[in-house]
Structure 1
Amino acid sequence: MSHIYIFSPSGAVRDQAAFRRGVRRLQALGHQVEIDPGALLSHQRFAGDDAERVAAVARAAASGADVALMARGGYGLTRILPGLPWKAMAKAAARGTRFVGHSDFTALHLGLLAQTGAVSWAGPGLTDDFGGEAEPDEIMAACFDDLLLGQGEGTGWRLPTARGAAAAVADPALERLRARPVLGATLWGGNLSILVSLLGTPWWPEVRGGVLFLEDVNEHPFRIERMLTQLLHAGVLARQKAVLLGSFTGYRLTPHDRGFTLATVVQRLRGLVEVPVLTGLPFGHVPTKVLLPMGAKVDLALEGRDAWMVWGHA
């Protein structure tokens, strides 16, 4: 049985039925679920005012829990980054508390890595991933169990089949990765919008030679390209050993796009950078997501269309 601490550092929990379902499901699995006293607060669109949410993060760090799990994402963490107890969170991580979340939680992940070097986990949230009307995704749930049991050692996935004219052209960067795996690189990244918003701030980790993973939701491909281009012009992409693209969901193409799609964005990106760009990473605002150790050392290999990332040795 694991001790799971539920807290709300970002948006207010509007779907309290999903919150309660998520808690019940975790309890049914035998876990001790502790709910932060501010988890269901509401101030404007936030789960409490800024000071209340800073206090919630501090309580999560002091909880001694095996996992400090976000209730939901939304928006709010970037407002409170200057006040977060980074040293206390790093000490909690060293004692074994895994901070888990995604979406807006990316700001906490990146800030913790930048400020302390501590590892946290990009992964599910309570309401969307454990509290939905359908049962939690089996792969996500299995990965979460592995984290609790200390058994997670890596993940693998198959790159989607290439389409269009680019299908007949072998990507030189991918061929180099097939011939020479990436070894001992720092894994980092998360939600693209949040990540770009931290560029140039004290909560931006200066990772060189890393493996950068990205995802987003409700962002049209032209906005995704604009953010990727910012990372390109800032030199961030060129300093990585690989870029992994997860799920980009929730957008709608229009007749005005005239064939401009996410595949167009990826094809252009591959033509602009020398590092391998891998698609299909099972992570993002989707039910099937793996858990990824933010700040850990990983090995990355590609065999045919099968990608493998290992961190169990780190």
Structure 2
Amino acid sequence: MQTVSIIGYPLGHSASPAIHNAAYEAMSLDARYEAWSVPLEELAGAIERLRGPGMLGMNVTVPYKQAVMPLLDEIDAAARAIGAVNTIVKREGRLVGHNTDAYGFMRSLREAGCDPAGMDALVLGVGGSERAVAYALAEAGARRIALAGRNPQRLEAAAVHLRNTAPRPVGVLQVPWEAAGDAALEAGLIVNCTPVGMKHTPEETASPLDASLLRPGVWVYDLVYNPLETVLLRQAREAGARPVRGLEMLVYQAIAAIELWTGREAPFDIMLSAALRALGLEE
């Protein structure tokens, strides 16, 4: 039996083992998925373990999506442009870093019915997860991407990074957090990449935007997937906007990782059901 792991630190409750192991069972793969909480001083050793014959592949989560990059033999072009690796593939004895977050985001957005081509998008938060989102939006042909953040230095860095690495021409705006409301009124798509609204946090009952800024017809995507309907998504629904939850992104990025490791497509419905059970959520 081969092993797949997810590494991070500290690694709290993760739905990934349940999602992956449900897929492996359905696919009759002789593999198991484990969560490894790896302190920084053990990171290089964990990556080296992946080279062993008993390892099929590895996922990477915070805070190591950037830190693993110099430890790998090769970085996929998209992952390098995004500046983060969340999936490591073994290929002819080499460790290759990929990013499946961008795919997971865009696949789930399109499955919900939103094509961002030609659209003005507002991305809330510049803590790191916005890089895959912004890359995916640029690749899909968004007309303009406004990045909103509280930290001026991070906001500047995120905007410069996107301008330098976007796979297609796209307008990039830097929006101070206090001006995010004005940008929201001009956007056809709003994506929350902040942890605001996440269960078991001080901001669980909060929203990153005032409800009055959400208009009928605008797409509102929340990367937060627990609870299934965040305060932001509830506000969007009540405003007649088009809310899109983040759980499907988690599943689709896992599907992309499994395909990279095995060359086979994993079962979405089984993995989504496993995610809901693991998180104690109900449709």
Query: Shorter-chain TM-score category?
Result: 0.3 to 0.5
**TM norm structure 2:** 0.39
Highest RCO, 1 vs 2 (Cα 8 Å, sep ≥ 6): 1
**TM norm structure 1:** 0.36
